[in-house]
Structure formats: structure tokens, C-alpha cells
Structure 1
């Protein structure tokens, strides 16, 4: 059991943030069978294929199933509400070598030598491009919806309402937050820094905490609605959108409920590969698609702007 005590200042400084870097770390635990593999089976199958031929053992060696802790330098809590991966990796790259050595030495399960921060950041970046980036707009929508919901709960009902349905392992008791941690037994004050709440797509069904000095105390928890994350949600474009984009480009947007290649889209739509390629190039130039190279394939995915347009 982990018990976090709050002062009035701690409640005032409690905030939310997203962490692309944490999604990388938690997704490694999914691929290694510790977290929600059945829940994320659709993603797991695609990510496994996209990671084929890429050596990401440097990351896997540091994120071990069953470990009591994950080294802090691998995924430090975000310092801003909406960091991008580059900003988080800049913190990783700046980690002193002696800190990395201390944190690795403190975890007996890690038997590999301490990695260079730059090498680790490079592996994370490639892993992200292959396994997470094509799905990030979908994941980000889930995280945004959770934060909006939690913020309303905090505003209307205070801390007790905020934490009431966060996770079965978490509950509010007067001025304390109690977390049923199978591997942690401690009482901690928040030191006037408040609690950083980080919703996560891949952490289900567990919660993870950070209470070591030097970082804002952090709780990473499953985002609300994660069970529907990978469900098909293809929508039909509006008549107005077809009028602006044309039927072919609007159709391609609807087909990209999950990332796909030019060849895949041509087979689905009956359009020629050349025609699909031209449409995708135009949609990407307009900021409606992103592209990600995986091996010899280039996969296209809808951006957050495209998702908004399809729902108007």
C-alpha cells in the first residue's frame, strides 16, 4: 500500500499531463506480456510486425516484466502538460552517465551494462516511429477525453470525486490518497508539489507511481474508455467535406481508421495505386495525414485535424 498525504497546496498544484515517452515504456510491457495484451491484441499484432528486424533490446532490457521499479531516467515525468516525444527525449539525452549507472545498479534484475543516454533515446525514437506514431492521434484523443472528464470531476466534486472512479486500486480517504500497490509499501508527503496525473493507453489494468525526490510525484493510470481504443470507428464523410476534398480523398480518409499503405488502400477502394498516391500526397500536404516508414512500407494515418473534420 502506498499512501500519499495532501496539503491544501498539494491539491492546488495537482495537474494533468500526457507523456508519449511513457506510452512507449508501457507498450513495451504490453508486448512482453505484463500489461493488457488481450485488450491491445489488435495493436500488438501490428506493432510486432512493424518492429520486425529492429533491435530494441536496449529498451526491453530496462523495462522488465515483474520489476518493482523502472529506472527513472527511462521515463522521467513530463514537466509540461502536452510534451512531444522530442521534448521528453531531450531530457533523456541530458541524463548524466553517473545517474544512469546508479539507477541501473539499484535494480538487480537488470544485468546489462548501463546504456548511453543518446543510444537509448535513439532506440526509443525508432520504436516510437514504428509502433506508436501511426496510432498516436487515436491514443491522444483517448487521453484528451479522459483529462476533460477528470477536470470536470475535480471542479464539481473536489479531490474525492476526481479519484472516486480513477482505478479500483486508488481511493481518496480524507486528506490522503491510498494506492493498492502490490510491490510498494510506504507513506509519502507530496512536499507541496501536488500530484501529476498522467492518463495512459497502455498501462491498463495497473497504476504506476513516482515518488522519488527530484520529480513531481506522479500517478500514471488507465485512461477512461481504453477498452474501446482499438474498436473500428470508420465514419462517413459529410456531403460538405466531400464537396471540398472530392469523393476519392474523402473516401481515403474514412478508410484510414488504422494506418495503411498505398497498396492496402488501393485494394480496399478500387482506386489505382498511382491515384491513391496522388491523393495521399495532397492530404498529407494539407495536414490531414501523417506518414511513417516501417521497413520498406510507408504507412499513412489520419491526424487529429482529419479526425475533427470527419466528425463535423
Structure 2
């Protein structure tokens, strides 16, 4: 058991900032793919994306973690803000020094690199980035708005705690592994021994909520930028099915399934996201969406590899009129 100690410069909370990283979530989620039983809260999502797995570079994705759930540090970089974009983070990965990539991969696989990580590094890096991009498009992009909402809600909560009860209370609430005393933030490391010290002067300390950890972690090297990743609040509610109550008149006209979809589409959503939210199959949702769109009740637009649906003005009027009728 080890410790990382971050000494806040002059106990100045201006050195502490929060950020959200889509790349961190993408990479850390591979631990749930390797061992779903350790992440039971994500089983509904894992079941829904199961059909996409054969289309992905599974060998490479699984090579990016190991049996004790380590991931390469260069794939979980410190994000710059709560609004970090995946494309920017992947561009950063493409620019990481070769020596750092080789060191981090060897740290995850000390007994020898698995086959997908062997060979000329430019080719390995390209395959790695392609595998992560494909994984994002197929499994993350449709549900990322919901994930991001949970992460950003956690950041807002932590800010409220700081305002009401101070920094000590906020750090103590992050995880049982995190403590704060005399201007020093300490993180108990579960996998390595020793103690590491780092001042945040000139670098700051970044706190990163994640949906794919049950504890808290920090880089083990004092040379790494100060960062603590911790479990976000609300993760347990992430995949709960939503129930949208449609008016009786709307149900009588459209049927319960289509009336529920039309009621749910006040904000844009993909068929995959709707299927997850409403706890039905994607194929069933797509069939209903096509009927509603052909009837002029929905509009659709492509966003990357996903198609987003939204109620049209006619759909809005129908839902609004049904609500007034129901009352």
C-alpha cells in the first residue's frame, strides 16, 4: 500500500480545478469489458453494446488493460477542462513521445507485450487510435451525453460542498482513500507501495470524476501532472430505464410505445440511447421512429455515425395538445 501526497501551494484552492475527460472514460471502461463482474452497475450498458463487439478491434482494446485493471498512463492524460473534447485528447495521444508510450505499455505488461502491442510503434499507435475511435463511435457516442451529464453534475456538487463546508469536506467526500490536512491532499494507492510527494506549484491539482472506478487513484510518479480520479456521484442511476408518461389521447392515437417515444423526444437522442433509456430493443425503437418520422412527427439529422431524432413542430403540438386533453 502506498501514498501520493500533493502539497497545495499556500493552501490556495485556486490551484484546484475540476475536469471531465471522455478519453479517460473510454479507456477506463475497458476494465468493465475485461471483467464485467467487477462493475455490475454497468451491466445494462455492456449487454446493449454486446452486439457491437465483433465489429471492433477487441484484441487491441483488451491489450490496453491487464488482469489487475491497470491502463497506460498516456491514455489517461490530465484533461484541461470540464469541456474537453475526445478529438483533442486523441490528438494528444498521437503526439506522446515514443519513449513514454513504450514505458507505459511495459508497465502495464511487465511480463511482455501482447501481440497487438508488438511491432513498429507507429503502426501499433495507429491501430490503437483506430481501435479506440471505433469503440467510441459504436459504444460511447450514443450515450456520452448522458454520461457527461452525470459527470458534470458531480462537478457542480463538489463546488457546492466547497462553498458550504470548505475544501476539507470536499476532499473527504471524494473517497475513503483521499484525505486533506494542513494543505496536503493524500491519496492511498491500492496497488503499489511507497510514498510520493509533489507540490502543485505551477501545475495545479486536477480532480477528475469517472464512472468506471469504485475508489480513487493518482499517477504514481511525482513527474506526472497532479491529478486525482475518483468515482462520480450518481453512477448507480446511469442506466436506469426512464419512464415517460404520455397522455391518454396520444396513446389512443399512436399506441403506447410510439406515444412514449414521441414524449421522450423533447431533446435530441439516437435510437440506441432511446432503447437504453426506455429499456427496449434498438430494432423495435428504429421501427417506431421511422413511422413517426414518416408521419411528420419527428425530424432527424446525422451526427457522426449516429442519427439523432427530435420532435417536429407538429409533434410538439400533438404532445402538448394531448397533455391538455389528459388534464
Instruction: Please say which structure displays the higher CA radius of gyration.
Output: 2
Q: For the aligned residues, what is the CA RMSD?
A: 3.4
Q: Distance in 2 between matches of 1:291 and 1:275?
A: 23
Distance 2:220 2:199 in 1: 8
Matching residue of 2:39: 37
Confirm or deny: 8 A CA contact 1:146 1:199 kept in the other structure.
Answer: yes
Structure 1 contact 153–162 (Cα < 8 Å) conserved: yes
| In the alignment, structure 1 residue 265 sits paired with structure 2 residue 285 | yes
Find the residue that maps to 1:186 and give its secondary structure. strand
Tell me how far 1:57 sits from its aligned partner. 1.8
Return the alpha-carbon distance in structure 1 between the equivalents of residues 180 and 206 of structure 2: 16
> What is the SS of the residue equivalent to 1:122?
helix
Deviation at 1:251, TM superposition (A): 3.4
Q: CA 1:175–1:257 in 2, change beyond 3 Å: closer, same or farther? A: farther
Counterparts of 1:257 and 1:146 in 2: how far apart (Å)? 25
Question: Structure 2 matches for 1:244-283, cutoff 5 A?
Answer: 250-251=262-263, 253=265, 256=274, 258=276, 263-265=283-285, 271=288, 274-278=290-294, 282-283=298-299
Change in Cα spacing, 1:130 to 1:146, as seen in structure 2 (3 Å) is same
> C-alpha offsets along residues 21-69 of structure 1, whole Å, 9 cap, x if unaligned?
01111110011117842111101111222222322322321221315x5
> Residues 123-162 of structure 1 correspond to what in structure 2 (within 5 A)?
123-162=131-170
C-alpha distance in structure 1 between counterparts of 2:174 and 2:64, whole Å: 28
Specify whether residues 76 and 153 from structure 1 end up closer, same or farther in structure 2 by C-alpha distance, changes over 3 A only.
Answer: same
CA gap 1:18/1:194 in 2 versus in 1, 3 angstroms: same
Q: Note the C-alpha offset of 1:291.
A: 7.0
| Counterpart Cα distance in 1 of 2:225 and 2:190 | 22
Residue segments in structure 2 that go unaligned for 5+ positions in a row:
248-257, 311-318, 320-327
Which range is displaced more, 125-134 or 168-177? 168-177
> Which of the two has greater helix per residue?
2
With 162-171 and 208-217 compared, the bigger mean Cα shift is at 208-217
Instruction: Return the TM-score normalized by structure 1.
Output: 0.77
The Cα shift of 1:146 comes to 0.3
* Aligned match of 2:204: 194
How many residue pairs align between the two structures?
A: 284
Q: Is the contact made by 1:262 and 1:277 (CA closer than 8 Å) also made in structure 2?
A: no
1:78 aligns with 2:79: yes
- Check 1:300–1:43 CA distance in 2 against 1; reply closer, same or farther (3 A cut): farther
State how far apart, in whole Å, the 2-side matches of 1:292 and 1:275 are: 21
* Structure 1 CA distance for aligned equivalents of residues 190 and 223 of structure 2: 24
So what's the TM-score if we normalise by structure 2?
Answer: 0.74
Residues 64 and 177 of structure 1: CA distance in aligned 2, closer, same or farther (over 3 Å): same
Question: Take 2:264 and 2:158, find their aligned partners in 1: how far apart are those partners?
Answer: 34
Structure 1 residue ranges without an equivalent (≥5)? 239-245, 294-298, 303-309
Q: Give me the whole-angstrom Cα distance separating, in 2, the residues matched to 1:165 and 1:133.
A: 30
Aligned to 2:324: none
**Paired residues for 1:152-301 under 5 Å:** 152-184=160-192, 185-192=194-201, 193-203=203-213, 205-210=214-219, 212=221, 215-236=224-245, 250-251=262-263, 253=265, 256=274, 258=276, 263-265=283-285, 271=288, 274-278=290-294, 282-285=298-301, 292=305
- What's 2:15 paired with? 13
Distance 1:133 1:274, change over 3 A: closer
Is it true that 1:111 corresponds to 2:120 in the alignment? Answer: no
2: CA distance, partners of 1:212 / 1:279: 59
SS in 2 for 1:284: strand
